[in-house]
């Protein structure tokens, strides 16, 4: 008799902490809906154990991993190959184990774009975009957003230096500039305002530039929670046309990872519905 448990392809999400992650639920739903027989685990791994844990997962038949905070940047050092988007983002959220090699990719940017374009029907061509924050998350989404040919992309940050470094890095890819929160240019309304700070994770609402929000602004918080995040509440209170959290990006980046691993792109709408997080 064949022991089927040994033939199930193993995947998982590695982070620290990781117990809050919704990735196992999402990937199990994708597997169910696409008829794929996979196992998806939650792997809490401290930073100093990262290399050992990744190599052990690979050695014991692991086929792929999602990588989350705080490992997205350090894990790139373990990769034999990096996709262009992972290398530009300086962050890896997906590992593929193939022919004894570790391939690092990043599906966060495309996940955000798909959520904006497909789930919310937003056209970014010619749009004025404001990103609040200049950390790893901003670095990951700036390139993909510029590829959509916006009219302008302003990166505003508490500390101007970090915003300048990212704007400088992408200056050949499109009309990107940097400023402080209190110096956001407001000569034209912003069509899209993205919160990429980690302030909300600590329940903080920094002095975001209220004048940047108009009744036409679509506000998107990369953070998400069961309750509205401080930024999404703030943006709604400023009179934004719409204020949403990043649940859709989470599901869409997962779908892209699933596609890389299994060659099948799952339909995300039933998963968004099933998680009761539709827009």
**Does residue 228 interact with ligand ATR by CB under 6 A?**
no
Q: How far is CA 59 from CA 30, 55, 165, 234, in A?
A: 25, 6, 38, 47
Name which of 199, 94, 177, 181 is nearest 128 in CA terms. Answer: 177
> For residue 248, which phi and psi values (nearest 5 degrees)?
-65, -40
From 28, 162, 164, 242, residue interacting with ligand ATR (rule: CB under 6 A): 162
Shortest reach from residue 161's CB to ligand ATR, in Å: 8
Q: Which of 49, 72, 151, 273 is catalytic?
A: 72
248: tokens are: 């859709």
Unique residue bearing structure tokens 């940050």: 157
Please, what is the minimum distance in Å from the beta carbon of residue 26 to ligand ATR?
20
22 near ligand ATR, rule: CB under 6 A: no
Q: Which of 33, 158, 236, 242 binds ligand ATR (CB under 6 A)?
A: 158
Site string for ligand ATR, 185-224 (x = CB under 6 A): -----------xxxx----x-x------------------
User: Does 154 interact with ligand ATR (rule: CB under 6 A)?
Assistant: no
> Of 63, 74, 128, which Cα lies nearest the Cα of 99?
63
- Give the CA distances from residue 234 to residues 135, 158, 202, 211, 226, in Å, rounded to whole numbers and listed in that order: 21, 17, 15, 12, 16
Catalytic residues: 72
Query: What is the contact surface with ligand ATR in residues (CB under 6 A)?
Result: 133-137, 157-159, 162, 196-199, 204, 206
């Amino acid at each position: 008799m064949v022991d089927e448990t040994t033939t199930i392809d193993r995947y998982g999400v590695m982070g620290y902490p990781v117990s809050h992650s919704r990735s196992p639920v999402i990937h199990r739903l994708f597997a169910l809906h696409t008829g794929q027989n996979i196992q998806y685990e939650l792997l809490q791994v401290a930073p100093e154990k990262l290399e050992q844990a990744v190599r052990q997962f690979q050695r014991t038949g692991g086929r792929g991993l999602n990588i989350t905070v705080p490992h997205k940047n350090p894990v790139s050092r373990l990769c034999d190959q990096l996709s262009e988007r992972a290398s530009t983002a300086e962050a890896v959220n997906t590992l593929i184990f193939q022919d004894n090699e570790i391939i690092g990719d990043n599906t966060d940017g495309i996940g955000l774009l798909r959520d904006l374009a497909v789930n919310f029907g937003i056209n970014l061509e010619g749009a004025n975009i404001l990103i609040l924050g200049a950390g790893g998350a901003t670095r990951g989404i700036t390139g993909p957003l510029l590829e959509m040919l916006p009219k302008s992309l302003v990166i505003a940050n508490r500390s101007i230096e970090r915003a300048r470094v990212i704007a400088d890095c992408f200056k050949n890819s499109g009309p990107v500039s940097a400023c402080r929160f209190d110096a956001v240019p407001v000569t034209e309304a912003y069509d899209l305002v993205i919160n990429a700070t980690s302030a909300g994770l600590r329940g903080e609402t920094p002095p975001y530039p209220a004048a940047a929000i108009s009744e036409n602004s679509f506000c998107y918080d990369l953070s998400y929670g069961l309750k509205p995040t401080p930024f999404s509440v703030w943006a709604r209170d400023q009179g934004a046309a719409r204020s949403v959290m990043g649940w859709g990006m989470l599901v869409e980046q997962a779908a892209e990872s699933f596609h890389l691993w299994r060659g099948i792109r799952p339909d995300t709408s039933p998963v968004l519905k099933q998680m009761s997080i539709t827009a």
